[in-house]
Structure 1
Amino acid sequence: MQLPQGKKIFFASDFHLGIPDKTSSLLRERRICQWLDSIRDEAEKIYLVGDLFDVWFEYKNVVPKGYTRFLGKLAEMADAGIAIEIFTGNHDLWMRNYFPEELNIPVHYGPITFEAGGKKFFVAHGDGLGPGDHKYKFLKRVMSSPFAQWLYRRVHPDTGVGIANYFSRRGAKHQGAHDGDFKGEDREWLVIFAKEYLQREHIDYFIFGHRHLAMTLPLGNSWYINLGDWISLNTYGEFDGTAFHLKTFDSHE
């Protein structure tokens, strides 16, 4: 990918729309839409790297209620020719055809790599990568299976989404807390994953969400980047064709 003059690639993750309540989520949704408006003239491509919703489950003819402003903004920008791609996260892994068919936005269910401006990128939400967290990895395999999704769709949407909301809303982030402090390079699973990956293949930028930490970490001549979140940090990534920058959006609300 060669970026035209004045164009950039943008990255953001962990909006967690829907929590902790309708009022707070709506304020966050409006802030995200303001950010999207602020970058639209510069955006060559936008990657939204998972956990956009705190719960998202698609039935054949039903999707979760709400998020009208956000979905409408994505549709508006996609219709204007801005390339947008999204990733599933651990909270919204049950995406299917709605985004590609209704919004013309591709969905990635795992990591991708690409090159832009002579730099190589590895992008993933980050859940289930690296060592450890074996219980979640097993649960993700089960929940991602076509049979599990088929079985869950036999449950009425009011019940199914209600159950998902109940389990999803348990956790510190619902009180506005981030996902803990940085534990050190030898204890952060995504950092360990990136270091092991570099033994096989060079990557200039590893870009993850999931941890709710806004940070950049040099790994030799590569970089580990976590995009933070929009519950308390309002952070996003920007690649201008030469270098990557982690920034904070100020909506002046």
Structure 2
Amino acid sequence: MKIKRKIEIAVISDVHLGTYGCHAKHLLTYLNSIEPKKLILNGDIIDVWQFSKRYFPKSHLKVIKKIMDMASDGVDIIYITGNHDEMLRKFSNTTIGNISIVDKLVLELNDKKAWFFHGDVFDVSIQNAKWLAKLGGYGYDLLTLLNRFINWYLEKRGKERYSLSKKVKNGVKGAIKYINDYEKVISDLAIENNYDYVVCGHIHQPKMEYKENKHGKTMYLNSGDWVENFTALEYQFNRWKIYNYNKDKLAPFYVDEDMEDLEVRDLIAAITIVEQQEKKVK
């Protein structure tokens, strides 16, 4: 019998289902290893910008099915919209069963206020030149696809994985400045509004760090991504931690065997169960 870790809150973001860079099987392993009271999906879970009917493998469908199953088992699923799944913003403040769609979220955690949002609203490149941001997204997708082939070869040779995108980001001074500016703007705003925690995603940079200015301090948290870092945030025993799949994965947990033959009809059945639960509540 598999023993799952019970946690109060799990936060994942930037999964980018529907793209070559998404590591859906890694995410399924993680989701199978936990039993959260709340699962917060902090934006860019499904990549609508780069969505193609030609590429949406079963492992990506399994992630959606798994989340639906968690909702039907009583887990509170909160989907916070991001820029790559911005079409869902038309359905903000909608609730179906245990699944809610919102643009932002505030929670009281042990007498402390936590502010959750994806983070794209603070990205000037997204707001002022969306076409350029989308173009960059396609380039990033091609880079991660190339990276998967490289890592496949390295793993066959018994060598350590390598991240091309990290190398590019870390080698560009402008990228480092952008990340620092992003974190500062968000943290300063959180301090101004008296939030003890500010939790975001968007920039694919997992982090947990106290930020301070002359007006006070806050804890800045970024859940990272499931494209290159494979990270999540977890809250338990009044503490936050960054879960890192490459360092923290538990060997007994893999993709459920009974999900191997998942078809679209199974996904529809899972959604139907959630909708039926909603009708019973009403």
Is the structural similarity TM-score above 0.5? yes
- Tell me the equivalent position of 1:233: 229
CA contact (8 A) 2:81 2:101 kept: yes
Query: 2: CA distance between counterparts of 1:99 and 1:113?
Result: 13
Percent pairwise identity: 23
Asked if 1:212 is matched to 2:204, the reply is yes
Q: Of Structure 1 and Structure 2, which has the larger fraction of its residues in helix?
A: 2
Query: 2: CA distance between counterparts of 1:139 and 1:120?
Result: 33
Residue pairs, 1:97-136, within 5 angstroms: 104-109=98-103, 111-129=104-122, 133=124, 136=126
SS of the residue corresponding to residue 121 of structure 1 reads strand
Residue pairs, 1:73-222, within 5 angstroms: 73-95=66-88, 96=90, 104-109=98-103, 111-129=104-122, 133=124, 136-138=126-128, 167=135, 169-172=137-140, 174-176=142-144, 177-178=165-166, 180-181=169-170, 183=176, 187-198=180-191, 200-220=192-212, 221-222=217-218
What amino acid maps onto 1:223 in structure 2?
M
Larger Rg: 2
What amino acid maps onto 2:33 in structure 1?
S
CA contact (8 A) 1:117 1:241 kept: no
CA deviation map 1:44-82 (0-9, x unaligned): 111010111222699xxxxx9663211211111100001
Q: Where in structure 1 do 4 or more consecutive aligned residues deviate above 3 Å? A: 64-67, 96-104, 166-169, 184-187
1:215 CA displacement:
1.3
* Match among 232, 238, 244 for residue 248 of structure 1: 244
What amino acid maps onto 2:27 in structure 1?
I
What amino acid maps onto 2:79 in structure 1?
I
SS of the residue corresponding to residue 210 of structure 2 reads strand
Asked if 1:72 is matched to 2:65, the reply is yes
TM-score w.r.t. length of structure 2: 0.63
Query: 1: CA distance between counterparts of 2:207 and 2:16?
Result: 19
Query: 2: CA distance between counterparts of 1:98 and 1:47?
Result: 15
1:191 CA displacement:
2.2
CA deviation map 1:86-120 (0-9, x unaligned): 111111111255996777411112x2211122221
When the two chains are superposed, the root-mean-square deviation of aligned CA atoms in Å is: 3.5
